[in-house]
């Protein structure tokens, strides 16, 4: 069982460390089977997916080339401008490669939609999506998630890479913030 450190009084465990790790082991097995005999490029989307990505690649029993991308979709406050702001780009070409893009959470689907469009333009051999979390009730852009760890309700989650104003990313579990 995860124990909550005393400075995290306002945080409830929502998905335990054990549950996360067991699900990641299944996803790693699935990816290993799907790409048997091949190499893959795993692209972690920063910052939120760093922890998920680190644990996931340890469960993939194939040659993995790890890359990170920094990306955020942005707009005028009410509506998206239709642009993806790439704050950190790939170091290597993905042309002709099997790519698995790894997200922390797919909420409206906007970030992943823009990201996929951008990556498709770079001519990978295949392009799959993987996300730790998905909020189906918030979907505005239907992007297939090929490998999904957990579906969640419309609740704001923190921990295991996900932040609240820059805090709580270090938690080994996914939590719910109860407020001050």
Site for ligand 5GP, rule CB under 6 A? 48, 73, 104-111, 156-158, 162-163
Report the residue number, 63 or 78, with the smaller CB distance to ligand 5GP.
78
CB of 48 to ligand 5GP, least distance (A): 5
Minimum CB distance to ligand 5GP smaller for 40 or for 157: 157
Clarify whether 107 is annotated catalytic.
Answer: yes
Omega before 146 within 30 of 0, i.e. cis: no
Q: Give the span between the Cα atoms of 51 and 172, in whole angstroms.
A: 9
Maximum CA extent, the chain = 51
**Cα separation of 2 and 144, whole Å?**
32
Cβ distance to ligand 5GP smaller for residue 55 or 104 = 104
Residue 57 CB, nearest approach to ligand 5GP (Å):
19
CB of 1 to ligand 5GP, least distance (A): 23
Q: Which residue has the tokens 């795993």?
A: 42
Q: Are strands 157-158 and 174-177 parallel, antiparallel or unpaired?
A: antiparallel
Q: Which two tokens stand for residue 81?
A: 């401008």
Marked catalytic residue, from 85, 89, 107, 118 = 107
Residues annotated catalytic, as ranges: 107
């Amino acid at each position: 069982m995860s124990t909550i450190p005393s400075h995290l009084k306002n945080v409830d465990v929502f998905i335990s460390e054990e549950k996360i790790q067991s699900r990641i082991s299944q996803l790693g097995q699935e990816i290993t089977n799907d790409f048997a005999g091949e190499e893959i490029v795993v692209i972690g989307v920063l910052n939120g997916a760093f922890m998920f990505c680190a644990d996931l690649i340890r469960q993939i029993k194939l040659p993995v080339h790890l890359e990170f991308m920094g990306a955020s979709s942005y707009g005028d406050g009410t509506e998206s401008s239709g642009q993806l702001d790439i704050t950190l780009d790939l170091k290597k070409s993905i042309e002709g490669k099997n790519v698995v893009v790894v997200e922390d959470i797919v909420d409206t689907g906007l970030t992943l939609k823009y990201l996929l469009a951008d990556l498709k333009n770079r001519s990978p051999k295949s392009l799959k999506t993987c996300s730790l979390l998905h909020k189906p009730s918030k979907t505005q852009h239907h992007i297939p998630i090929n490998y999904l760890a957990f579906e969640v309700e419309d609740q704001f989650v923190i921990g295991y890479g996900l932040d609240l104003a820059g805090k709580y990313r270090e938690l080994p579990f996914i939590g719910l913030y109860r407020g001050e």
